[in-house]
Chain A
Amino acid sequence: MYIPRSILVLLLIIYLLFLLSVDWINQSAGGWYRPFFVGFIVILVASWSHREQDSDEF
């Protein structure tokens, strides 16, 4: 099974962000919007990882 490198990087970043942000999001004094902040970072990384996908025509 072929997995593009950029997708592997994306998966790794999502996993690391998940590990790092769970406690931060659930802090009782934390803002309710924190998960959205993390989501936005994931989308930024995704837009980068999909930037060169156009040439991959299966």
Chain B
Amino acid sequence: MNFEVSTIVALGSGYLALLFGIAFVTERGWIPEKIVRHPIIYVLSLGVFASVWAYYTSIGNAQRDGYGYLAGSIGISLAFLLSPLLLRPLLELTRTYQLSSLADLVAFRYRSPWAGTASTLVILIAVIPLIALQIRAVSDTAFLLSPEAEQGSFAIGFCVIITLFSILFGTSRRAGRTQYDGLVMAIAFESLVKLIAFLVVGAFAVYGAFGSFDGLDQWLQEQPELVASLKNTDYFSSFHVMALLFFTAAVAMPHMFYVTFTGNNGQRALSFASWGLPLYFLLLSLPVLPILWAGLQSGSSVQVEYFPVIIGAAYEAPLISLLAYLGGLSAASGLIIVITLALSNMCLNHLILPIYQPKANEDIYRWLLWKRRTLITAIIWLGFLFHYLPSEQISIQVIGIVAFTACLQFMPGIVAILYWPVANKKGFLWGLGAGVLIWFLFLMLPLLSDTDPLALVSVNWREITALSLITNCVLFVAVSLFSTSSDAERSSADICTLDTIKRRKRSGLVAKSPRDFIKSLSKPLGGKTANREVARALKDLKIDQNDRRPYAMQQLRGKLEANLSGLLGPSIAREIIDGYLPYSIVSEHGSSDLNVIENRIEAYRSNLSGMAADLDNLRRYHRQILLDLPLGVCSLSTDNEVIMWNRAMEQFTQLDSANVVGSQLIDLSDPWLSLFANFIDDDANHSYKYVFELDDQKRTVNLHKALIEQTSNPDSIHEGVIILLEDITEMEILEAGLTHSERLASIGRLAAGVAHEIGNPITGIACLAQTIRDEYDDKELLNLAEQIIEQTDRTSTILKSLVNFAHAGTNKTQYVSEIVTISECMAQAQTLVSLDRKSKELSLRIDCDPDAKVLGDSQRLLQVLINLINNARDASQANGEVLLQARVLGEIVEIAVVDEGIGIPLAIKDRVFDPFFTTKEAGEGTGLGLSLVFSIIEDLGGDIDIISPANEDTGGTRVLLRFPCYHSDSVTH
């Protein structure tokens, strides 16, 4: 096998240039977002974990351990298959608090910059051998393909290109926190390439080396010792330890943490990856055995790990060798790129920033960007230097095991983050320190020195791994149990632990508005950065810049801490936030923030079952009762913060609960502030018929309050106050209307009585006048008598109409069926209306068809006309004209009452017939007139219609009444 150096260089460079191209077009947005953000891309990017270890080392593992080589794939697959236990809660934590590395996570949980620094140092020391392993595999395989070339030059060239790629696509000018879509896409492409290459090489091993599957089986039958070694796996030794190493690596290895959590697009992608990644590793493991056997059959003397590269040449298929080399290059480059990016962030946040921070007047983003680029370069070249250190006799398997065993030391700390709130930083640091010390002395040191590490490994690396892990666990638990956790640690434990929902009590902040936030943060960050960070947090939270609600300010503080944590690491972020945005009072631990508890239970409720689910249903039921109560409900905390503002309260006050909840009472606008503040200060628990003005209208409410009794803290008198608000404005209007109606009815009865009393003397006067007319001949006297009789007749008619109208207002349910001549009815209505003083200036015109007759109750119809005329009069200007019109239209008599008034607005047209609906001033109208009209018309078998405006130019209203026409001939028939 002897390829030209230029061929190998061109292949490698061309492939890496293709990666540049993919990352570039993705960054430019030329690939649709639905493809870039598809869960398959996420799964493929997670394939970065299948590094040189899975690609080359698995062949050697298969030869030594048989099926034991699957342990690594099984370990990482189990971590994803059981993602709800570990990865999903961690994903939520890292996304909420912008934690981009394991060091960030432990520093956040154990509230210790030292925990972050120690973790970074351990991971850095552990991972450098892994980077070195990749570089060595690439240079070794390139040397195998082209033995004439100098091996070191391949490694240098590879490192130069990878450094450039990582700097160009791994560090962004966009504040260093956005998702690197180009990078993720390139990594996914690399995973696809290595999978396809490995599968093709595996297929070639079966068909190229053995002719077919039958040929392979036949060859295996001739090699019984191979089959025996394959199936005699020692399941109780290396298999389990290896699986555990890889299970932990899913979180502890920086490149896996980076892709799993930082590159994640949501829970859906993780659910997809929970079975997608195991499938990827299953497919990647499938060709291992055929490749191993093909290599063995070829009799090659090359290191067994590199069989994928040599079998092509061995069976005279050089292209297969090149393809295998390309797959290995993909595996190595992908891991180095991601691991250096993750490590550079960790080193920056936990090694550099704690001792050296940019000045406030510097461009922080630019400063961070260049520090990160420098670190990337340093880490890659550190790996390059390290790859010279171990002797060439040491297999790449040993280097990999050393790296993975170091990361295993983080397992107790990671599990405790989610499941053991008692754990603290002392326990974590002691456990990690002891475990790492054993690892360094017995695994790392022999690797670096010339002591025979292979011999050490053959002694039993599993026992060293187990010893380090057990020591770590024992010290972690013991120290955590026998030392006390700080208040901050307990608070973090509450946030991280799945089984607790305790939260710190709400407490006020010194900064009261976003402007105060910017002012405070300008000191450590500079004005420009502080402005940008606060604006970003406000935008994320959708909070207005003028918002001053305490709850919103607390949310803003939390968001700023999370965002700064993504930028500077959790330790520095916490230091800045605590130092420059302090609480006004020291908060108590163990008390509760109801909003946080409710949000958490709401998010968690799909996981509740049994009694917990029943309790949650009960909680929701009670809460819903309060929310849907037709009375306004407002609950206030002891410091007068609004906790609840139900729907009825929203409707009445026109204040959205989202804007009110979390506010202080004093932040409410008037009249609500004075209404509630006065009532709370008042000793009485009830306030009836409290009248105030809202939008220039009088509103009347009843108020009730009760103290919420404290149940858990005996030192506190109460936990707040609940206020009920009952809007009785409508009821007050109804009561006023009924009182007015009653008064009118009394007046009506009085008028009927007065009319009756006046009627008797009038009759007497009429009789006397008739006597004079009959018994005297004096012309002048007769003339006077005629006039008296005429005037008394007129007076009698008026009185009769008045008495009839008064009688019509009684609760009469039986209608008289009589022939009603509309013209007479209209004349009578005109007479009665003219008695009203307000009607003096009204011009009432009657235009009536004399044949217009209907069968019905004349008094009821009279009442209808009077009500309609009165309404028309009230709507008309002074000296306005009202037209009473009656026409016979075939079998229908149409009566119209037309005015030239203001008309009826469209918005209230449908409500004018509602009882007690009126647009008149209080006391002016009862709101019963048109309702009564509608009722009478229905009873008389007619219908009513309102046309407004009656005329497009002049406006006004036309009320149309329609009744069946009465024809005398029809009755005759």
Binding site for A on B (CB under 8 A): 67, 70, 77, 81-85, 88-89, 92, 217, 220, 227-228, 230-231, 267-268, 271-272, 274-275, 278-279, 282, 285-286, 289, 419, 498-499, 603-604, 606-607, 609
Contact = CB atoms under 8 A, between A and B. Distances in A.
Interface in A3-40: 3-5, 7, 10-11, 14, 25-26, 28, 31-33, 35-36, 39-40
Interface centre among A43, A47, A55, by most chain B C-beta atoms within 10 angstroms, is: A43
Contacts of A10: 81-82
Contacts of B84: 3-4, 7, 53, 56
B512 to A, nearest CB: 32
A58 B92 contact: yes
A55 B606 contact: yes
A35 B67 contact: yes
A2 to B, nearest CB: 5
Grouping DSSP codes into helix (H, G, I), strand (E, B) and loop, the A interface class, with mixed when no group exceeds half, is helix
The 10 closest A-B pairs by CB, nearest first: A46-B275, A47-B275, A53-B271, A58-B92, A50-B274, A26-B231, A50-B271, A54-B268, A39-B282, A2-B607
Contacts, number: 81
B70 A35 contact: yes
B82 A11 contact: yes
Nearest to B281: A39
A42 B67 contact: no
B227 A28 contact: yes
A53 B267 contact: yes
A48 to B, nearest CB: 9
B85 A58 contact: no
Interface residues of A, number: 31
Contacts of B92: 57-58
A36 B267 contact: no
Nearest to B216: A32
B603 A57 contact: yes
B86 to A, nearest CB: 11
A46 B289 contact: no
Given A40-B282, A58-B604, A1 B499 contact: yes
A5 B613 CA distance: 14
A10 B227 CA distance: 31
Given A47-B275, A53-B267, A7 B230 contact: no
Interface of A: 1-5, 7, 10-11, 14, 25-26, 28, 31-33, 35-36, 39-40, 42-43, 46-47, 50-51, 53-58
Given A2-B498, A56-B84, A58-B498, 6 more contacts: A2-B607, A25-B231, A39-B278, A42-B278, A57-B267, A58-B92
Given A26-B231, A28-B231, A53-B274, A36 B282 contact: yes
B275 A50 contact: yes
A54 B92 CA distance: 13
A58 B275 contact: no
Grouping DSSP codes into helix (H, G, I), strand (E, B) and loop, the B interface class, with mixed when no group exceeds half, is helix
13 contacts: A5-B609, A28-B227, A31-B217, A35-B67, A36-B286, A43-B275, A46-B274, A50-B272, A53-B267, A56-B88, A56-B267, A57-B603, A58-B603
Contacts of B274: 46, 50, 53
A50 B271 CA distance: 6
Contact of B285 (A14, A36, A56): A36
Nearest to B233: A26
Contacts of B285: 36
Contacts of B230: 32
Given A42-B278, A50-B275, A56-B267, A32 B289 contact: yes
A26 to B, nearest CB: 5
Contacts of A42: 81, 278
Contacts of A55: 606
B419 A1 contact: yes
A3 B67 CA distance: 30
B482 to A, nearest CB: 24
Interface centre among B89, B275, B286, by most chain A C-beta atoms within 10 angstroms, is: B275
B381 to A, nearest CB: 39
Contacts of B278: 39, 42-43, 46
B920 to A, nearest CB: 56
A17 to B, nearest CB: 12
A4 B285 CA distance: 29
Contacts of B89: 58
A47 to B, nearest CB: 4
B503 to A, nearest CB: 15
Contacts of A1: 419, 498-499
Contacts of B268: 54
Nearest to A53: B271
B271 A54 contact: yes
Contacts of B267: 53-54, 56-57
A14 B286 CA distance: 20
Given A32-B289, A35-B70, A58 B81 contact: no
A31 B271 CA distance: 32
Nearest to B606: A56
Contacts of B67: 25, 35
A9 to B, nearest CB: 12
Interface centre among B67, B85, B228, B271, by most chain A C-beta atoms within 10 angstroms, is: B271
Contacts of A25: 67, 231
A2 B606 CA distance: 11
Contacts of B604: 58
Contacts of A4: 84, 607
Contacts of A14: 81
Interface centre among B70, B84, B92, by most chain A C-beta atoms within 10 angstroms, is: B84
Contacts of A32: 220, 227, 230, 289
Contacts of B282: 36, 39-40, 43
A51 to B, nearest CB: 8
A44 to B, nearest CB: 8
A14 to B, nearest CB: 8
Nearest to B74: A39
Nearest to A56: B606
Contacts of B606: 55-56
